[in-house]
Amino acid sequence: MAKEITVASECETSIDSRKKSDRRKKWDKFIRKDKIVFNDKFAQAVFLLPAILVFSVFTVYPAFTSLYYSFTDWTGIGTNYNFVGFANYAEMFRDKNLFQTLPVTFYYAALNAVTLLFVAFFIALMLNRQSIFTGFMRVCFFIPMLVSPLIVGFVFKEFYAPTVGDETGSLNKILMQIGLGFLSTNWLGNEYTAMIVIVLTGVWYQVGQTALIYLATMQGISAEYYEAATLDGAGYWKRTYHITWKLMGPALMVNTILLLINSLKQYDMIALLTNGGPGTSTKVINLAIVELSIASQKVGLGCAMSMVVTAFTFVLVSVTQKLLSRRATAHD
């Protein structure tokens, strides 16, 4: 009897130990070396969920809401509005705002994107060199991206301020102190300089991010290419053009797309610096949309115009991506 009890006890102990071992194996899938390791799909869902929620609330929902209101005559006040079909879209093409602001918008987007693409490339070349100041310089160029565009607008509005009595903007003060006072002018009030200084402000603000994308690609280029070119007698600029620039295809595509999108949606910085002036020389289409929606209380028309801009941006970005992807593939 004692032997039977002992055998039964050993069997129960063996079964319990096997169950514990099975549970332990299952738990070991999640716990390894005291660190939680999530199942791949579960981890992806957990990490993506906050971003999806934020994107849905602040991008997807407003986009569909704007699309809905573009077919109504809503004024932005109250809940009384009527469905008007495509009337807002028809009125938009009769409205002078569209044809006045589109050329300005294209000019700003092209000038801003091209300037940034080349300035950022040369800054990335400088940051790619090994130096004791390289890390510090990278931080300095990227810091402006951490500042709100509203603050940038306020700061540079004072920087470009004209001379009025005893008050002088910082840029004009600098010019006077170095003996170039004859160049001082109302930078934001002159139709020939307003757009230029807006673009320069945008370059200062965005150049860090653009250069960082270039820099990441540069650091992935094998040093063997440069060594072989040096042995063949190629100088620094020849190596830069035939190796570095030719292999910038992926970075060039990403930067161009990001800059086009940012330029076509630009509003806050231009609104603070010039508010579209002098005249309509810096009035981009987003200023017209806000003006129609708020000042004229034609939210439906403003939403229709924003939908057209969104569709145009999508088409432009798609074409740009296709063209630049061919260039990137050709140099791979």
Helices vs strands, H then E, count in the chain: 15, 2
| Chain center to CA of 292 | 26
Match 């934001």 to its residue by tokens. Answer: 188
For 87-330, which CATH class? mainly alpha
d(CA 96, CA 194): 22
User: What ranges do the domains of the chain cover?
Assistant: 87-330
SS3 29: coil
| Chain center to CA of 268 | 14
Query: How long, in residues, is the chain?
Result: 332
Q: Which of 132, 146, 270 is nearest to 212 (CA)?
A: 146
- HSE at residue 209, side-chain half, CA atoms within 13 A, is 16
Token digits for 298? 């034609």
Token digits for 197? 């200084």
pLDDT score recorded for residue 34 = 45
d(CA 143, CA 146): 5
Q: Give the pairing of strands 35-36 and 31-32.
A: antiparallel
For helices 249-264 and 96-127, the axis angle rounded to 10 degrees is 140
pLDDT score recorded for residue 21 = 61
pLDDT score recorded for residue 330 = 59
pLDDT in tens, 214-249: 999 999 898 899 999 999 888 989 999 999 998 998
pTM: 0.81
One digit per residue, the tens of pLDDT, for the chain of length 332 reads 444 445 445 555 555 555 556 555 555 555 554 444 455 777 778 888 898 999 999 889 999 999 999 999 998 888 888 999 999 999 988 888 788 898 999 999 999 999 999 999 999 999 888 777 777 888 888 888 888 888 999 999 999 988 777 778 899 999 999 988 888 889 999 889 999 999 999 999 999 999 999 999 999 898 899 999 999 888 989 999 999 998 998 899 999 999 999 999 899 999 999 999 898 899 999 999 999 888 888 999 999 999 999 999 999 989 988 888 876 665 55
Q: Which of 255, 262, 257, 258 is nearest to 218 (CA)?
A: 255
pLDDT score recorded for residue 118 = 95
pLDDT in tens, 9-39: 555 555 555 555 655 555 555 555 444 445 5
Match 């006072």 to its residue by tokens. Answer: 181
d(CA 192, CA 285): 19
pLDDT score recorded for residue 5 = 46
pLDDT score recorded for residue 18 = 58
